[in-house]
Structure 1
C-alpha cells in the first residue's frame, strides 16, 4: 500500500506596515486541518492517558449504589459472625495440661503379677484408647479426657459440640470425629504429647463411623462409604457412595453396602454386598491412588460366601470369618477367588467380629468369639492358638504401633474370670494337625502349663455353589516357630 500523502501546511508571513497593518493578504486562507491519522512524523501522537499526577474523576455514586453496598457488607459481616459464634470450631475447647505429657516405651517383659490401680467409666467397648503417655476415656457427653496412666488423674480434656463418633491414635496424633452439619463430618487431630492442635477436616460422612488405623493412615468406615486419611487428615481415597460426584464413572460400582474393612499402608480390603452379585464381594484397592476420587482396584470379585467379616490383612493376604451355608470358618484369602480354610468352627460363634472383639499387632491378630480367644499369624496366614475361657481378645505386650520403637512382642495379656493371663505359645506340628502348647502366668505369678483344645488341620474345601469360580488351596498348618 502506498504511503498516505501529507498535505503541507500553508505558511503566511506578514510584515506590519507603517499604519500597523500587515503587508500581504489581509485575509489569508487558513491551513487545511491535519487528520489525526496523518500527523507529521516529527509530531508525537496524542496519548489519551492522563498526565502524571493528574487525578481521574471517578464515576458518580448514586444513592442506590451506596445502599446496595451497605446491605452486602452487613450480610457478610453477620454471616461471618454467626459462623464464628455458632460453628463447631467455636464450640470446642481444648483444656491443656500444665506440661508436655510423658512418652512411655513398650514393656520389656511380661508382668509377674497384676494389680488394679484405678478404673473409670468410658463410652464404648473394646481395647482402651491410648496414646504414648495417656489413657483416654470418653465421657457420656463425648468429652475426651487424657488421664495419667498410673493414677487415672485427669491431665487434659477436649470438648466438641456434637455427638462423639469415633477415635483412633496413630502417627503421634489423636484423631476424633464428631457429629456435625453432615453426619460424622467434624474431625479433629490433637498432639497429646505437646498439647497442640494438629489438623482439622470437615466433609460429609454418614452418621455411623468406625475408625481403624496403621501408623500412617486411618480408615473411616460406614455401610455407605469409606475414606482413608493421612496423618494430616488429607483424604487419599473415597470409596462407595459419593454425595456430590463431580464426574460420572469415578466409582467402580454403586448401590453397595460395605460390611467390613481393613488396611495397610499399601492397600485396603473391603467386604461388600452389591446389586446383582450372588455372594459377598471382596475388593482390594490401593490405599493412596493417583486420584483420591477414583479407586485403583487391585482385585475384586464375589467370594461364594453368604457372609464375611474382614478380620485383618497384610499386603499378601486377607484374613476373614465367613459363613457358607451352615459352615463357619476363618479363611485366608490371597485373592477374592483364592482362599484356604484356617480355622473351621463347629457352629455360629457367640460374638461376631467387631472392634470390641478383635485386637492384635502387625504380625498377629486375635479374635474373641464369646467363649475363647483365637490367635492367627498374619504374616503366614495361619492359625496359632486358642485361649479357652478368655473374656476378650487381649493386648499385645512389649509392642508399639510406632515402627521407630523396637519391641519384643513375645507375650499377650488376655482377660479372664478372676484376673488376666499372660500367654506365650509354641506351635508344635504333628501328623494329624498341630497342637498349640501354651505357657501362661497367672495373676499370682505361679507358672502352670495347659494345653487348650486343638482343632485338627482343616481339609481343603469350598462351597458347592462357588466351586467353579473359587480355587481353594490346602489348609494352612502352623510352621515350627515361637510367637
Structure 2
C-alpha cells in the first residue's frame, strides 16, 4: 500500500470516554481543565441593537428564486441526501470503528524496585497480550495488546486505566521511548499505525505506511524501523517517515535504492543507523549493509557500508555505536564488524545447530539491554556481551530468555524460575522459583517499579 500521509493528526471522531481534547497540528493534545459533562457560561454585556438600513438603499429587494414551494422541496431533498451520505460514510469509515477511552489523570507513582531480587515472587495478575513480543512497562503503567485492543493497566492490580481499540487486528505493539506504537493490519499489510501515551492512552500521532505482514519494530533512540522481507520503513519518534529501504511501493524516481531483487533477514539498529542482512542475486554469500536512518530524500538511503560476508544464513544479533555483532552459522563464528565494514574480531560459537538454523520470527534476534551489557537468547542459552564493544563475556545454559536488571541485579529466566546472576561474570547468586502454570516456552522480561513482567507466549504475567 502506498504512503498516504505522514504523522497525520488525530482527525477521527472516535468515541472517547472521557472525551479527548482536540489535537494540535503536531499531534500533541493540549490539556483541558473543563470538567466533562459541565457547561462553562460566561457573563457578557448585552449586545446593543444595531440599526439596519433597508436593503439596496431603500429599494425593494429582488424576490428570491427559491421562494416557490417546488424550489423549497427540491432544496430540502438536497439537504436530506447530503445528510444520508454523511451518515453512510461515517458508519462505514475506520473512525466509526475506533474506541478511545483515555485515563482522566496520569497514573500515580509506584514504589521503587527492591535493591535485591526477592527470595520469592508471587503472580499478581495475568492478561492476554499476543501483540507484544516483549513486555511493556513504562510511565508507572503496563500495556497489554491483544486482537485489536491496546490496554493501559495498573502494574499492581492489572486494572484497566485506558483503552484504545479498533475493528482491525494488531500486527505488533512496541515501546518507543515513553510512547507506545501500535501497528494494525489492513488489507494485505500492516499499514495503520497509532502512537499512544503510555500513561494516559492519549493519541499523540497517527500514520499510514507500507509495513509487511509479520513485521516487528526495531527501536533505536528517536527512530523506529519496521522489519520485512522486501521493505524496511523507518520513522521518527513522531511517526514521520525518514527512510525507506528496499522495494518502495510508489517509485517517484528510479535507481535510488542501492540494489534490487534482494530479500532481507535480521535487522538491528543503533546510533541512528540500521543494519540488515541481505540475500541478493549474484552474491556468493549473505551481505551485511549499514545505512542511515535519515537522508535528504526518504527513498534514497545513505549507505555507510555494504559487505559480502563469509557465509550464508548470517544474522545480525546487535549493534552498538559503530559496531555490529554478526553470527555466521556455517563457520560457527561470532564476528564483530567496525564502522568501515571491516571485520575487527571473531569468536568461536558453540551452539546447537537448531538455535541458529532459521531467521527469528519478525527478523529481530531475542536480545535485551542493560546499562552494562547485551543479552542474547539463542534458543537454548543466554549469551552476555559488553555493551561498549560487543565482546563476549559469559554463557548461561538452560535459559529460556535474555536477562534484564530488576532493581540492582541481573535476572535471567530459566526453567522453573529465575536466575539471579553477577552481571560481569555470570556467576549464579541464587535462583527464585516461579510457577508458570505449565508454560515451558521462551520468556521475555521487563520491569516497572517493584513489579517484574514476564511475557509467556501470548500471555503477560505480573510478579511481585
Tell whether the structures are fold-level matches, with TM greater than 0.5.
Answer: yes
Residue-by-residue CA offset, 1:444-482 (whole Å, 9 max, x unaligned):
8xxxxxxxxxxxxxxxxxxxxxxxxxxxxxxxxxxxxxx
1:442 Cα offset (Å)? 2.5
Alignment of 1:335-354 (within 5 A): 335-350=340-355, 353=360
Give secondary structure in 1 for the equivalent of 2:432. Answer: coil
Contact 1:216 1:265 in 2 (8 A): no
1:229-268 equivalences in 2 (<5 Å)? 229-268=235-274
> How much has 1:295 moved relative to structure 2?
0.4
**Distance apart, 1:269 and its partner CA:** 0.6
Deviations 1:31-82 (A, max 9, x none): xxxxxxxxxxxxxxxxxxxxxxxxxxxxxxxxxxxxxxx9999999877655
Pick from 432, 450, 455 the counterpart of residue 443 of structure 1.
Answer: 432
Secondary structure of 1:442's match? strand
> What secondary structure is seen at the aligned counterpart in 2 of 1:350?
helix
Answer 1 or 2: higher relative contact order, Cα 8 Å, separation at least 6: 2
Q: Are the counterparts in 2 of residues 103 and 193 from structure 1 also a CA contact under 8 Å?
A: no
Give the structure 2 partner of residue 123 of structure 1. Answer: 130
5+ residue gaps, structure 2, are: 1-75, 434-464
Give the aligned partner of residue 375 of structure 1. 384
Counterparts of 2:235 and 2:273 in 1: how far apart (Å)?
Answer: 13
Whether 2:397 is the aligned partner of 1:388: answer yes
Using the TM superposition, give the Cα deviation of residue 115 of structure 1 relative to its aligned residue in structure 2, in angstroms.
1.3
Matched, 1:133 2:140: yes
What displacement does 1:120 show?
2.3
For residues 186-205 of structure 1, what are the structure 2 equivalents within 5 Å? 186-205=192-211
Of 156, 169, 172 in structure 1, the residue corresponding to residue 175 of structure 2 is 169
What's 1:272 paired with?
278
SS at match of 1:90: helix
Q: How does 1:65-214 map to 2 (within 5 A)?
A: 82-102=88-108, 107=113, 109-116=115-122, 117-124=124-131, 126-139=133-146, 141-181=147-187, 183-214=189-220
Q: Aligned partners of 1:339, 1:80: CA distance in 2, in Å?
A: 63
Counterpart residue number, 1:47: none
Cα distance in 1 between the residues matched to 2:106 and 2:186: 30
Flag the 1:213–1:82 CA change in 2: closer, same or farther, 3 A. Answer: farther
Q: CA deviation at 1:281?
A: 0.8
Which SS does the other structure have where 2:307 is aligned? strand
What is aligned with 1:58?
none
Aligned mates of 2:286, 2:78 — CA distance in 1: 55
In the alignment, structure 1 segments of 5+ residues that lack a partner are 1-69, 399-409, 427-435, 445-483
Distance 2:390 2:112 in 1: 26
**How many residue pairs get matched?**
359
The CA deviation at 1:221 is 0.9
Does the CA contact (< 8 Å) of 2:168 and 2:186 recur in 1?
A: yes
In 1, distance between residues paired with 2:79 and 2:246?
A: 41
Pairing 1:365–2:374 present: yes
Residues 328, 348 of structure 1: 8 Å contact kept: no
